[in-house]
Structure 1
Amino acid sequence: MLLRHAKVGPFLSSLLLLGLTSCGGSEDPGTTEPDPPRAVSITVTQTSVTLSFVGATTALNASIRDQNGQLFSSTINWSSDDPAVVTVDAAGLLTAVQNGTATVTAASGSLSATVAVTVQQVATQLAIASGDGQSAAVGQALPEAPVVRAEDAGGATVAGVGLAFEVSSGGGSVGSATVVTDADGLASTSWTLGTTAGLQQIRVSIAGAPFAPIELSATGIAAAASALAKASGDLQVGPLSLALSAPIVVQLQDEFGNGVADGEVTFLVTGGGGSVSPAVATTGDDGTAQTTWTMGSVLGGATLTATATGFPPVAFTATAVPATPDLVAGALSVSPAVPTSLQTFTVTVPVTNEGTVTTGTTFPVQLLVDGAEVESKTIGPLLPSASTDVAFTVGPLAAGERALSAV
């Protein structure tokens, strides 16, 4: 039995040694395989976005990285939790739809990242909705209140914006200095015109903002006539039987002094003789009417009245004087222009009758050199407004500067 036991021991040890050698030979530490890349995170470059007008867009950018921090290629799906506020397309492009807030999500598999989006319109411009270019009597409110629309940069209306209304020309007043736009982006206020007829304007701006204002215009029309007033032409002096140099002018006025058009005015000579033309005139846009007054044949004072139905007459006076010629000498000309002390030269004087009657049969014209008469010419009759040239021959004169004049 002892011999058998000695043989069994080595046999078992040999089997155990072979078993250990076989297990160890299947491992090779130098050829371990790396983990394959897998997505572990997704990020969006923007965490929040604010859009200031309807239709505004902005692009979002997202990226996926693996366990080693390297970019990982995979499809990214974009979505908005409130498309009524903002939409997002497959490429991550945001588009503002209306005011509000929404969350936009970028997702890939089980990974996701979010962006907080706010759409808050900012009014940057104004437009006239209605009420521009109206007319009304001065001092009265326009029949239609002017309406202005607030818009964002994309042209969409903006509610809740304070607009400032102010008169910029013509006087008058607005009902409210500041008005907040309604749900349709509109704001309006009454406009009472000033008391001066003609163009009037108001200016509307976005309160507290640097954007350009707009202006609305209206035309003030004169109120009902309340007086006939003297405008010009009184107290003239004119020659017998001839028209006065300036017309007789009156103005039909409202209570504020504005001229009233289309009124009928009658002109009548009441003393001193003479006539008017026309005898009846209609007031123009400025409220004035005029006539030409021709003096009679009686020397001295003359009177005229202008009347309009419903108003006291307006009186004018003038004085009739004898008609006389009025001779005026024009600028002298010399030929040659710079004579020598050895030359004779010609001086020509234009003479005009600026009077109202023809001159007598003849009249004298004298040429003076240094204040002393050197020659006199006799000229025949000269009609009103007619001219004639009078020529004198002078010299030779001593060298030096000489003063020439004609009387």
Structure 2
Amino acid sequence: MTVETTDTVIVGAGQAGIAMSEHLVQMGIPHIVLEKDRIAERWRSQRWDSLVANGPAWHDRFPNLEFDDVTPETFPPKERMARYFEEYARMFDAPVRTGVEVTRVRKCEGKPGFIVSTSKGEIEAQRVVAATGPFQVPSFPRIVPEDAGVTQLHSSAYRNPESLPEGAVLVVGGGASGCQIAEELRRSGREVFLSIGEHYRPPRRYRNRDYVWWLGVLGKWDEIKTTPKKKHVAFAVSGYDGGHTVDFRRLGNMGVTVLGMTTACDNGVITIADDLRANLLEGDRAYLDVLREADDYVARNGINLPPEPEAWNIEPDPACVTDPVLAVDLAKENIGTIIWATGFKFDFSWLQVDAFNDDGTPFHKRGISAQNGIYFLGLPELTNRASSFIYGCWYDAKYLATHIGVQRNYDAYENT
């Protein structure tokens, strides 16, 4: 049986895969993009109904296509984001094949390249780009037993307040997903408990500029002007409800019971760490540091941006902070649902090559793996803070495409 051949196979047609394809098209490098569902599927079916982009439309896009139906400062809803990537792929006729699942990638025997096994047959490629993104397998701690009498789901399975069983809701996780879901549930009339850990809490806007702009001018996207940030700390920023600064005290004052970290469960009682105040103070420190750096930047560069003294005000502590709750009885509080907004983990079991650390994480430098011909794109911290964001992965893809072009030149020399 004849095996199809190409230079590069890109696995995944989300933002990373589409960005990679654009650069390879521009360079004239033959390739195929394989996607098991639809283009940008996770935006459609693995997010809640009210999700919007975390950055405004002028920023959360690729350089060569603007949104034609939303204002620059709008946070586009998830369906519009999915359609954007479809439009982008059509713009340069990306060779995307949807409904094709990659089941295994293995090294060719006795020659360069890889055999890509799919649900539609095999493809032989000289290179493979894993562009499956950071949101692969929902991850949450198995703290609460399955027989605890509550519905447990990951944030990727949450859709809207009406889809949940009756009763109060415990949301675990203080990042963008957790705080948005908790606020939506509270506004719908639900009793809500929100368990948070240490987090990074920047202002959504300051002095008439969105935080993504401040990230750029203060060097925080590239992380070359700041002290290294802590790893695995929740990033508490959102575009929900037109975009506003995440403030856990504000949530507490609107009726959400904010808690410290969830640590254990015994006989239906959740144990909460006594770390809420420390976590809030650490978030305040990060927030005020940004304001301070922004003010210094404005003064140093003589930029005419209006001062915003009210941004320095910290809301009063709600009762759940002054008298923290350290145990939550699920039955007594009538909690019917626990939503775990605790992130994702990698699953590269299909990629059977020598490109991983002992713990299963990719071993790479700027997306170029230890296995010649294997690349990673769209992962957090691939190059810098921007790497898993829409605009950042486009530039990472350009770097990897350039590397592929160089390797093709080496291959051509060896074959002369």
Same fold (TM over 0.5): no
**Structure with higher helix content:** 2
Structure with larger RCO (C-alpha < 8 A, sep 6+): 2
Q: What TM-score, normalized to structure 2?
A: 0.17
